[in-house]
Structure formats: structure tokens, C-alpha cells
Amino acid sequence: MPLYDTSTPNPAGHRDVSVADVTLPPSGFRLIDVREPHEFTGPLGHIAGATLIPMAGVVAHAADWNKDEPILFVCKSGGRSGNVAQAFTRLGFSKAMNLVGGMMAWNAAGRPIEK
């Protein structure tokens, strides 16, 4: 089942995704890490297949993205990525998603990381 279909609606308009529901390698969705470069390669690492686009520049990068493509945003704790998912929803992206708990939850669940 596609990730978007298993996600939970958020009152802000985007969808929330649990760590357990993310398949590896990412398939059927774009995975965007909105942290800073030092965080991406830092102790929490990153999810294999994630593209690093820091929060400040992610909207500019998305100018030519398909607005109907599922996009999962991730950060350290889920706060920044939740804000980005909400912003993308306001910009007309129909399948913006946030990884609940971010990389902290990913690591706590023992999911694999890259550094």
C-alpha cells in the first residue's frame, strides 16, 4: 500500500507518517531531509535515499516538482519537517507528509541510518 494511503491526516492539511510505515529503500515517494548539512552527517545520520535540502531553500527547489507526487519531509524531531509539510500543502502540494518524531524517533526505533 502506498505510504500516503497509510498516513494519518493532520489538522494542518498534510499527513503524518510513523517511522514503522516507511519502506526502505524509499519507493513511491520523494524523501526530503530539511535539516542542515552538519545534522545530515551528524550523530543521528540520515535515511538512505534521502535528499538533503535545508529548510530555508526547500520551496525554491520544489518549483518544478509534481504537486501530486507524495513527498515525505524529515528533520531532527518532526517540528521543522511538519512546518515544511504544512507550507507545501498551502502551496498546492496534495500529498505532503511529515515523519513524526523525525530522526530522533527513527534512531529510537533502531531503523538503519547512513552518515
Contact 14, 7 (CB under 8 A): no
- Reported as a single tens digit per residue, the pLDDT across 55-93 is 999 999 999 999 999 999 999 999 999 999 999 999 999
d(CA 113, CA 103): 9
pLDDT digits (tens, 9 = 90+) for 7-62: 999 999 999 999 999 999 999 999 999 999 999 999 999 999 999 999 999 999 99
- Residue-level pLDDT at 28: 93
Q: Distance (Å, rounded) from C-alpha 74 to C-alpha 55?
A: 10
Under CATH, to which class is 3-108 assigned? alpha beta
Confidence (pLDDT) at 1: 80
Q: Are 32 and 50 in contact (CB under 8 A)?
A: yes
- Omega of the bond leading into 54 within 30 degrees of 0 (cis): no
